[in-house]
């Protein structure tokens, strides 16, 4: 009698195990053969490296069940990087490691990172992304149809040009500066007396080479990898006027097809890839490690480091832009950001 009960129980356990395996297999069968991950720039840029690390970690941790592939150059949206977020919402793009700047046309609150001179150092960026501002932004993004998983970093955007050293706002008068497709950037450079020109990064490099534009603003990792000194960019000004955090995101339509276990796997992999990406983005441009700055100077490029008084002149010149956009973004969010920066741990 006891033996029959034991065999029946064992059979039930085996049946349950087979059923679980079958359900797991059925779920895996519903997964796509490949998930497309959109980025603007590839490896060896820090942006591309963070995306590739995410792909690698997910593949390893899922034992190859979840296969992702990075598509750089915003090629999934025909090169128009500002359409990336909308394409994810619609399920046209599965996933992305996206710029807060490029997503800001659809999520106006992301303009917080482009508020001129809000963030004076890396600790300030961390205070925003890892604090209440970051949490609120993630809540907003998810309500718009994209599930945000973690932060990476493109870095502080420094100014370069082919004409002269920039030490004062007056030095920018009349210079044609390539900027990203955001009205806030147009307002900022117009306030500084420059002639801002919006264009994609793909169009920017040939425009610099031909002199159609005089300069651009981007993280120094872009400068070194893209070798901007070869397209006339011989003057760099370190002013850290805005930064460009990156977000690992998944289309809500795609996200809902994953099991809770795989959702957790994707999130943790994104966070680990983000930590790696931030380390790469900051390498060589800090007080403890200025190797990238020395490398750039070794290329015959002049680097201008602003004094506190010189930087303040730029702050004053763009204050009207800051106040205008504080209303656009939301005064409460801006106030929270200012408090987070003021209370940051340096």
Identify whether residues 176 and 261 lie together within a single domain: no
Whether residue 28 lies inside any domain: the answer is no
Total number of domains constituting the chain: 2
DSSP symbols for 295-345: HHHTTT-EEEE--HHHHHHHHHHTHHHHHHHHHHH-HHHHHHHHHHHHT--
pLDDT in tens, 145-170: 999 999 999 999 999 999 999 999 99
- CATH of residue 148's domain is 3.40.190.170
Rg of the chain on CA atoms, in Å:
23
Whole-number percent of the chain with pLDDT over 90: 86
Per DSSP, the chain holds a count of helices (H) and strands (E) of 15, 11
What is the reported pLDDT for 30? 86
Whether residue 333 lies inside any domain: the answer is yes
Identify whether residues 278 and 291 lie together within a single domain: no
Identify whether residues 333 and 219 lie together within a single domain: yes
What is the reported pLDDT for 27? 52
Whether residue 301 lies inside any domain: the answer is yes
Contact between residue 87 and residue 71 where contact means Cβ atoms under 8 Å apart:
no
Structural domain of residue 102, as residue ranges?
A: 33-155+245-282
Identify whether residues 151 and 272 lie together within a single domain: yes
Beginning with the edge strand found earlier in the chain, give each strand of the sheet holding 35-38 in spatial order: 68-71, 35-38, 95-99, 243-251, 146-156
Identify whether residues 313 and 221 lie together within a single domain: yes
Whether residue 9 lies inside any domain: the answer is no
Q: What is the mean pLDDT of residues 268-280?
A: 98
Nearest to 304 by CA among 241, 236, 242, 240: 236
Which H or E run contains 36? strand 35-38
Asked if residue 160 has a cis previous peptide bond (ω within 30° of 0), the answer is no
Identify whether residues 91 and 204 lie together within a single domain: no
Say how far apart CA 284 and CA 104 lie, in whole Å.
28
Whether residue 104 lies inside any domain: the answer is yes
Q: Where are the alpha helices (DSSP H) in 119-192?
A: 122-129, 132-143, 183-191
Whether residue 21 lies inside any domain: the answer is no
pLDDT in tens, 295-325: 999 999 999 999 999 999 999 999 999 999 9
Identify whether residues 102 and 205 lie together within a single domain: no
Say how far apart CA 29 and CA 162 lie, in whole Å.
54
pLDDT in tens, 72-98: 999 999 988 999 999 999 999 999 999
Output the pTM of the full model: 0.90
Contact between residue 211 and residue 79 where contact means Cβ atoms under 8 Å apart:
no
Whether residue 3 lies inside any domain: the answer is no
Say how far apart CA 23 and CA 36 lie, in whole Å.
25
């Amino acid at each position: 009698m006891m033996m029959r009960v034991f065999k029946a129980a064992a059979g039930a356990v085996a049946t349950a195990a087979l059923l679980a395996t079958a359900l797991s297999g059925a779920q895996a069968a519903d997964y796509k053969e490949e998930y497309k991950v959109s980025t603007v720039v590839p490896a060896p840029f820090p942006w591309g490296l963070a995306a590739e690390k995410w792909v690698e970690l997910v593949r390893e941790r899922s034992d190859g069940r979840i296969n992702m592939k990075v598509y750089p150059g915003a090629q999934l949206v025909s090169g128009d990087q500002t359409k990336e977020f909308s394409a994810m919402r619609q399920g046209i793009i599965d996933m992305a490691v996206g710029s807060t700047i490029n997503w800001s046309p659809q999520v106006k609150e992301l303009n917080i990172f482009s508020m001129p001179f809000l963030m004076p150092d890396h600790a300030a960026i961390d205070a925003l992304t890892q604090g209440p501002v970051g949490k609120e932004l993630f809540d907003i993004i998810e309500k718009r149809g994209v599930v945000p998983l973690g932060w990476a970093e493109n870095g502080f955007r420094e100014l370069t040009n082919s004409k002269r050293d920039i030490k004062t706002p007056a030095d920018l008068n009349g210079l044609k500066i390539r900027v990203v497709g955001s009205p806030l950037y147009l307002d900022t450079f117009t306030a500084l007396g420059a002639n801002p020109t919006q264009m994609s990064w793909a169009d920017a490099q040939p425009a610099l080479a031909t002199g159609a534009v005089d300069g651009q603003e981007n993280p120094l990792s872009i400068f070194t990898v893209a070798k901007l000194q070869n397209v006339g960019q011989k003057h760099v000004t370190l002013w850290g006027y805005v930064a460009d955090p990156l977000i690992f995101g998944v289309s809500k339509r795609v996200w809902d097809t994953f099991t809770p276990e795989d959702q957790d796997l994707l999130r943790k992999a994104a966070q680990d890839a983000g930590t790696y990406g931030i380390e790469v983005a900051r390498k060589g441009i800090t007080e403890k490690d200025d190797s990238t700055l020395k490398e750039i100077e070794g290329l015959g490029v002049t680097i201008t480091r602003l004094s506190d008084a010189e930087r303040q002149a730029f702050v004053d010149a763009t204050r009207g832009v800051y106040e205008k956009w504080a209303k656009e973004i939301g005064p409460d969010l801006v106030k929270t950001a200012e408090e987070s920066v003021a209370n940051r741990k340096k």
